[in-house]
Structure 1
């Protein structure tokens, strides 16, 4: 594994992306803090910021230690007028937001909560990306509701459209940390397992390493996660892209590459798993008899 390195010279987001650097985002807050008993499911408001700030601070620290470069403020669904619609799933609204934010004079990164089918009015992912860039966004992409592979498909459509339009922008992706191949247009909200029985769908760290590599190969340089992304998932991104970044995060000090630490295990059959080939080709089981492989969305 690449050596762990100290803090880097502070640079702005666009400065990093313009130079080709990989920027690693953070992960899940609402669903993660709900699991830990700090947030009430339903409206998914971030009341923990006021009621349990130490829990929020600790989660930020865990993502930072795992390799996150950017820590997003925990303000999702924090205003009364945002309770009915918690995402940018309409291109026109996202464009309005970009236009307003552009007035600040700061770089604007805009991600939409859409899959390959596009927004709720049928605007394709490519059209969404073009509209956002023309409105002034320097970074565009997708976040939430869909899993890594579906989100990368959406990113590919965005990239193709931007190239066809002769527009340049950096790409950003922050998908769910769950396998969601059976989602409808509304994503994981339509699945019967949402939100309290999603654990069988959780991506392994090895799934996320593959996702990080495919995102990088696609040309995405801002790579993170949304609901379901735990700190160890972020660490997996940082470890997969350590050759490109030139260093590992502090959280990797106790974690050996591709399970190589299992060489010290007392059981010989577990020592035999201390290799990349084993984990890359593993097909994890759910452990549930007659488990359905896919669900039928409720909507």
Structure 2
């Protein structure tokens, strides 16, 4: 029998593969801008392969790709009639892939996220958000997910509403916050205060995801770990954010001006601003050392990056057999059968 999320957290570090949004856009199956996961209906095999790639690279969970698959986003693209089929199919595909794990069946998580309509001064918006979460969590419950991941909330109160609706269906909850450049949630809460409250209200895991790279997320993860008694999540984006530019929304690239109509690197010209896998692995070690035990990467992550993160915290993945090994490389290897006249070009190539 597969262990629950809580059991796995008690046994050690849980790896959570995210980043489907940018990965599927790179693969050509999702439109940047609207960022709605229509791939669950339009190209289900592409979505299954993406699920599979992240699972084989170390993810303990197959996260159903329903990020942005809520009623407001579907309204914007004029496809509200596809809301329920999209949500259910994304979960069903995740369950199919989870069963492919040859060692232990992967967990399957439902997913709800920031709605972009929450307004702390508008009670009607709060009820609309609650209704949106309730219907999505209801489908998750009916499809028998193992837990629900509520993510990228930049309002504390919206995160609380998400937690309440997950608890209404008696499902475990992972709740993570997206901290924008103000360094505080938009309704005035510090990220550590919000996480403390969410944990005390019963969230199994609390923490942060998205918006920030490792360098500008880590200081806040340290505060959360000192404030929260329960499990803590850290899932940064794999970009080199800085104190001056703490999120990837306005991250500059001084070497290029061809950023499209928005004249910004986000979201389709961030490529030169990546952390490499070794930097991400170093962050993962630091995160584990301070007490983060639900670790992953968010938008922009690749399976190879996630594998490096998993290996850095001591986990051998199904695809670790493909991890870098330069021993037989024709220029940089050490194998005795390599040609010496090639090795001589190591510093000249």
Q: Please, which moves more after superposition, 118-127 or 35-44?
A: 118-127
The match for 1:135 is: 201
The match for 2:116 among 85, 89, 92 is 85
Partner of 2:301: 229
Normalised to the residue count of structure 1, the TM-score between the two structures is 0.77
How many correspondences in the alignment? Answer: 247
Matched, 1:57 2:121: no
Q: Normalising by structure 2, report the TM-score.
A: 0.67
Please give the root-mean-square deviation of Cα atoms over the aligned residues, in Å: 1.9
Tell me if structure 2 keeps the 8 A contact 1:99–1:136. no
Aligned to 2:232: 171
Alignment pair present for 1:181 and 2:223? no
Superposition pairs for residues 90-169 of structure 1, below 5 Å?
90-114=155-179, 117-162=183-228, 168-169=229-230
Q: Is the 8 A contact 1:27 1:231 kept in 2?
A: no
Aligned to 1:275: none
Measure the CA separation in 2 of the matches of 1:52 and 1:253.
29
Q: Is the 8 A contact 1:183 1:190 kept in 2?
A: no
Helix, strand or coil at the partner of 1:25: strand
Task: Answer whether contact 1:141 1:158 (CA < 8 A) is retained.
Answer: yes
Q: Is the 8 A contact 1:144 1:174 kept in 2?
A: yes
**Partner in structure 2 of residue 265 of structure 1:** 329
Secondary structure of 1:76 counterpart: coil
Contact kept? 1:147, 1:176, Cα under 8 Å? yes
Partners of 1:152 and 1:215 within 8 A in 2: yes
> What's the counterpart of residue 206 of structure 1?
278
Shift, 1:183, TM fit: 6.0
For structure 1, the residue ranges without an aligned partner over 5 or more in a row are 1-8, 163-167, 273-299
User: What 5-or-longer segments of structure 2 have no aligned partner?
Assistant: 77-114, 118-151, 252-263, 335-349
What is the alpha-carbon distance in structure 2 between the residues aligned to residue 183 and residue 13 of structure 1? 37
Structure that is richer in strand per residue: 2
Q: Which residue of 1 aligns with 2:321?
A: 253
In the alignment, the residues of structure 2 paired with residue 262 and residue 158 of structure 1 have an alpha-carbon distance, to the nearest angstrom, of 39
Q: Which moved more, 1:83-92 or 1:22-31?
A: 83-92
Tell me how far apart the structure 2 counterparts of residues 100 and 154 of structure 1 sit (CA, whole Å): 26
Q: 1-side partners of 2:239 and 2:297: how far apart?
A: 10
Is residue 2:79 matched to residue 1:11? no
Instruction: Tell me the CA shift for residue 80 of structure 1.
Output: 2.6
Deviation at 1:263, TM superposition (A): 2.2
Q: 1:27 to 1:100 in 2, by over 3 A?
A: closer
Distance 2:328 2:289 in 1: 34
Deviations 1:237-263 (A, max 9, x none): 121122xx4xx112111224xxxx222
- Give the Cα separation in 1 of the matches to 2:230 and 2:244: 28
SS across alignment from 1:60: helix
For the residues of structure 1 that align with 2:5 and 2:245, how far apart are their CA atoms? 33
Distance (whole Å) between structure 2 residues aligned to residue 40 and residue 24 of structure 1: 27
Post-superposition offset of 1:18 = 2.4
Deviations 1:86-130 (A, max 9, x none): 841000110111122112222211101115812113311121112
| Residue in structure 1 matched with residue 341 of structure 2 by the alignment | none
CA contact (8 A) 1:146 1:183 kept: no
2-structure distance, mates of 1:138, 1:66: 24
Give, in whole Å, the separation in 1 of the partners of 2:322 and 2:227: 42
